[in-house]
Amino acid sequence: MATEKTEVVIVGAGAAGGIIAAELCKAGMKVIALERGPRLETKDFDPHDELRYFTRQDLRPNTKIHPVTWRPNANARAQRLNMLNNGAMVGGGTVHYGAVSWRFHEDDFRVRSSTIARYGEKAIPQDSSVIDWPVSYAELEPYYDRAEYEIGVSGKAGNLNGRKVEGGNIFEAPRKREFPLPPLQVDQSGLVFEQASKKLGYHPFSTPRAIISQPYKDRPGCTYCGFCQAFGCHVGAKSSILVTKLPEADATKNFKLITGATCYRVNTDNTVKATGVSYYGPGGADETIEADLVIVAPFIYDNVRLMLLSRTDRFPNGLANSSGHLGKHVMAQIGTRAFAIFDDRHINIYMGPSAQRHCIDDFNADNFDHKDLGFIRGAQINVSPADLQAGPIGAAMSMPPPPGTPRWGAAYRDFLARYYTRYAAVNAQTENLPYTDQTIDLDPNFKDMYGLPAPRMTYDWRRPNERARMDFIGKKVEEICNAMGASKVWRPPTNQGQPGAHHQGGARMSADPRDGVVNKYGQTWDIPNLFVVGSSAFPTSSGFNPTLTIQALAFMTADAIVHRYRQAPGPLV
């Protein structure tokens, strides 16, 4: 067993780990980052291959050798999830994601207190474990701004220092300055959605996205190729960590990246100090890194699994888990959608990136009155392809035909041939509340390629609050489709409780050590030199995609380490 020594070791070089690595290296700290997948380059994403990247999910984890399992409840046997949202390479999900890049609302950080203040405590589902975040929007705003400008985000402000701005999201939290780049060009689906939404009295705007609309920091602007969601960007216009922050880390000469590395334990001295990590390197070699500071930053399944695998006599239920909250309060955003087909016009939704499209925020968070609706929170509603990839294979796989049209054969062929350029999907991404029995633990029946137990998710979104929200939002989605002038509108059935996109929770942050695993900086309450960062730290979800919030928190964590922890190692309060 070989051993290396360094100042900082980071497990995972994605949205959070890549930012923290760059910032610590620029401050003069020596960093080694471990990544399970390879480090690809922009040239590796050309040519486009829909079968390889969309159908076979080449940039996502191979669930046959790195499985994640799911069951709806503790009495059911888990089954392997066939597709995961996270990335399987350096840069993580920021390489293949659609690059939607939202700031959360102010009340997304205080769901419990704001709900009680407006509707009373009885409005919160009795079995929900919802708590407020220990960090506020105002505290995080400078880091949102920093993330937008450092990586490159295109959009239009809707709230500049409290002043509402036409053309942007008037429901957004106040921002200090405009986006660094203007929005991407509007396509046909965006125009039709905008007209319909305004006719209904809603407030459409261009979705903010981490795709540069014009040249920025020596990178070319978007080419509108259409191969975005599930694909790496062939020109580097997508602001992935691969092309933004990791080159900064490289330039310092303080950074070492080890690929093909699966971390299986955070090592400790069985007191309250982490001493480094152990991992299986290329070829399966068992390796160790000793470090003064350990940062755990992969996707939530691997975050939680690693902490559970690292249990000790002092922490028998998982490392840094004296609170008992490790692996609990897991959330996923649940989608509902309606399809619209048109006989009198071409929509051509396959053209341009999926993140390019318009959306409304009128029914998200607490932007509308929930009194007597039977649920709290909401959803962001947008127009996009069926499954965020509008090539012919994507359309065939993810657009179920309307009732009365078969799913196979000549009639289906004729339907797809006629409507491939004449369809749109209006999607709602709904917030999911946390519940104590929504968990990640170790599956006794499924193992990874090294014989380690797979992470197992126990989760079922079909609760009264979530069902009522889905029904309400689903009707709004259909309403917009009809207002778009569609020839036919239909909604496919919802799934049977499986998790949706953007998984969050499992190592939540809290203001009180008894209520969570980490503080607002991602520092574990139990072990001051061990940080767990990323969406696993989220106490609540949002109708918005989580990546920009992950990145803002990563910048905040890096600042705290460089300017405070490094000078006086210990709890950050």
Q: Which residues are catalytic?
A: 502
Angle at 347 between CA 344 and CA 351, to 5 degrees: 155
How is residue 311 written in tokens?
């249990």
How is residue 296 written in tokens?
């755990």
Tell me the residue ranges of DSSP E strands in 370-438: 379-384, 423-430
Cross-strand pairs, 440: 457
How is residue 559 written in tokens?
């600042």
The answer to whether 491 and 436 have CB atoms below 8 angstroms apart is no
Beta pairing class for 286-296 and 2-11: parallel
State how far the alpha carbon of 1 is from the alpha carbons of 280, 281, 284, 477, in Å.
10, 11, 11, 57
3-state DSSP assignment of residue 552: helix
How is residue 267 written in tokens?
């090592």
The 3-state secondary structure of 7-76, one letter per residue: EEEEECCCCCHHHHHHHHHHCCCCEEEEECCCCCCHHHHCCCCHHHHHHCCCCCCCCCCCCCEEECCCCC
Instruction: Please name which of 382, 396, 371, 388 lies closest in space to residue 501, comparing C-alpha atoms.
Output: 388
DSSP string, 159-226: EETTEE-TTS-TTSPPBSS--SBPPPPP-HHHHHHHHHHHHTT---EEPPBSB-SS-BTTBPPP---S
State how far the alpha carbon of 442 is from the alpha carbons of 14, 121, 480, 512, 538, in Å.
23, 34, 43, 26, 21
Cross-strand pairs, 216: 219
d(CA 464, CA 174): 33
d(CA 381, CA 266): 41
Phi and psi angles of residue 52, each rounded to the nearest 5 degrees, phi first: -70, -50
Residue 221, judged by CB atoms within 10 A of its CB (0-12, 13-18, 19+), counts as middle
DSSP string, 280-321: E-GGG-EEEEEEEEEEE-S-HHHHHHHHHHT--SS-TTSTT-
Residues in the chain: 573
* 349 Cβ contact partners less than 8 Å away, ≥ 6 residues apart: 187, 188, 189, 384, 385, 390, 421, 423, 424, 425
Query: How much helix, strand and coil, in percent to the nearest 5, is found in the chain?
Result: 25, 20, 50
How is residue 520 written in tokens?
């607002």
DSSP string, 473-528: HHHHHHHHHHHTT-SEEE-PPP-SS---EEEE-SS-B-SSGGG-SB-TTSBBSS-T
